[in-house]
Structure 1
């Protein structure tokens, strides 16, 4: 089992390398047989080479800010704020490590923001 500290470091390095567009370091965080899934679009990418290429080719001038990482055993979760120009979106990312501490599986959830239903503003505050 991977230590939570090792996986947390791998996830921190993953995001820092993605932000820097340092694809060699980014690839170094990944297992050769990494599996990446996007449930909203029902897409799956298998293998380090294809996943790194997917990120290299991702359009736009995006920037990821890590808001939180929680790691336990061989699993970790990150919550990020993605900025692309004036557009901001949040994502939750699930990571699983292999025995060597490299990232073996990633599932990204990119929920769409929405306006809250009418009638509960007396209970909530907007930010």
Structure 2
């Protein structure tokens, strides 16, 4: 699958994820895809298990925003923010494609934090 087609598939995937459309969200994965969450040590094997896991999440996001998608060839990285009950999870997804479908995905989740005052003279605040 060429770059524009992969990018379009990723855009559909995140739009479906934000809308709670579990079927469309998981069309991007190979049946034998592997998704890992390194921070918790979890590995989810197979599109069916990944869809079931996400379908049973106890809370639905109150917000979902893609910040950036970059990639080329078979490796693509998405940065996005998911809001759950007023708390933002800053997320990075690394997708590895084979034959136009995701064969491996690694997702990292991070909470926001207050910036320390000591470095204020060197930084700008994001809007």
Deviation at 1:117, TM superposition (A): 4.1
Q: Are residue 89 (structure 1) and residue 89 (structure 2) matched?
A: yes
What pairs up with 1:1-80 in 2 under 5 angstroms? Answer: 2-62=1-61, 63-80=63-80
How many Å separate the matches in 2 of 1:89 and 1:26?
19
Note the C-alpha offset of 1:106.
0.9
Size of the aligned set, in residue pairs, is 125
The higher-RCO structure (CA 8 Å, 6+ apart) is: 1
Moved segments of 4+, more than 4 Å: none
2:54 and 2:125 map into 1 onto residues whose CA distance is 33
Q: Aligned-residue CA RMSD in angstroms?
A: 1.5
The whole-number CA distance in structure 1 between the counterparts of 2:112 and 2:73 is 31
Cα pair 2:88 2:111 within 8 Å, conserved: no
Q: Which runs of 5+ in 1 are unaligned?
A: none
- Which deviates more from structure 2 when the two are superposed, residues 79-88 or residues 38-47? 79-88
Structure 2 alignment gaps of length 5 or more: none
Inter-partner Cα distance in structure 2 for 1:37 and 1:68? 21
